[in-house]
Amino acid sequence: SVAAESGSPFTYVHYAAAKAGVEALTVGLSKELAKDGIRVNAVSPGTLWTEFHEDPQRPAQIAETIPMGRAGKPKEVAGAVAWLLSSEAAYTTGSVLKVSGGL
């Protein structure tokens, strides 16, 4: 989640800290496992229309803070995951791919 970079003050600080840990794990493991031909990457989504939010309208409420002016859809993140799993990303490891509408 892009919360790893923003810190999510006053809302999801604990969540942001966990996501920062996932990013560090991604980079560290990618370096340890590259010699074995194992790629390790992560996707860092921005605000999405999912059931994650305590307030189901939160994505609409914060849309104006997103450079693209809207929350994303889960299938938009799925496309990034599919690319990372594809042979087109064969030389990609240790990457954290932001799919965040510009956040």
Catalytic residues: 15
Q: Is 17 helix (H, G, I), strand (E, B) or coil?
A: helix
| C-alpha–C-alpha distance, residues 26 and 100, integer Å | 18
Q: Which two tokens stand for residue 78?
A: 């799925």
Q: Which amino acid is at 8?
A: S
| C-alpha–C-alpha distance, residues 41 and 52, integer Å | 22
